[in-house]
Amino acid sequence: MTETAQKTALITGASRGLGSALALALAPTHHIIAVARTQGGLEDLDDNIKALGGTATLVPMDLTDEGACEYLGSSLAQRWGGVDLWAHTAIHGAPLTPAAHIDNKDFDKSLAGNVNMTRFLIRAVEPLLRAKQGRAMFFDDTTIGEKFYGSYGATKAAQIAIVKNWQAETVNTGPEVLISAPDAMGTGLRARFFPGEDKSTLADIRAEATKVVSLLG
């Protein structure tokens, strides 16, 4: 039996950072399908959603696994018939390094986590969004092209290129594909890039999540 009474929001990369903040911001109006690799982070998120009176389904999985993404899509179709919103916040941030010193393993992980993951998920989630006339939300990064961002910047740019292709292809057919560029936030990813940075100069993650939700109407 499918569960269709409440709107559903699929958040990929939900265990921390913007993904977690978005899940909390959407919890009053959506059942949250929270996907991430980190079980502990998902359980903490579930506790916080319950404290708000919301509900969540936790899906601990490796999003770089193509077969797992296909199974995710079929499982969600069987249970809910589709999803109303997909927000993709999962990202791999390789260490900053000069372009001439990019590590092969780091670059391969960035390709898997930023490019291949995105195309696997688009393939799996597109039918779910069409079934509910849903929308997808992705997040651009203004650091693309800056020095030392070779692995992250190149693969993040490739991710956004795929998303823009999808956006252009679905103008008439749906789903609607949105791209937002949040202000720099005090996330764990940014802390790895800039250890010791004064977080008071950065945007509040919860405030940025609220902005994103407002874009969704």
Q: Token pair of 38, please?
A: 């980190």
* pLDDT value at residue 1: 32
* pTM for this prediction: 0.93
pLDDT at 5: 59
Q: Which of the residues in the chain have pLDDT under 70?
A: 1-5
Contact 55, 28 (CB under 8 A): no
Render 50-119 in DSSP notation, one character per residue: HHTT--EEEEE--TT-HHHHHHHHHHHHHHHSS-SEEEE-----PPPB-GGG--HHHHHHHIIIIIIHHH
Which two three-digit tokens encode residue 101? 């010193």
The region, left, alpha or beta by phi > 0 then psi within -120 to 50, assigned to residue 168 is alpha
The backbone torsions φ and ψ at residue 9, rounded to the nearest 5 degrees and listed phi first, read -125, 115
Q: Supply the pLDDT for residue 192.
A: 85
| Helix, strand or coil, per DSSP, at residue 38 | coil
pLDDT for the residue 106:
95
Would you state the pLDDT for residue 216?
84
Cis peptide before 175 (omega within 30 of 0): yes
Model pLDDT, residue 2: 44
pLDDT tens digits for range 73-111: 999 999 999 999 999 999 999 999 999 999 999 999 999
Angle between helices 150-169 and 117-132 (to 10 degrees): 30
Torsion sign over Cα 76, 81, 87, 91 = positive
Q: Mind listing the pLDDT tens digit for each residue in 7-31? A: 999 999 999 999 999 999 999 999 9
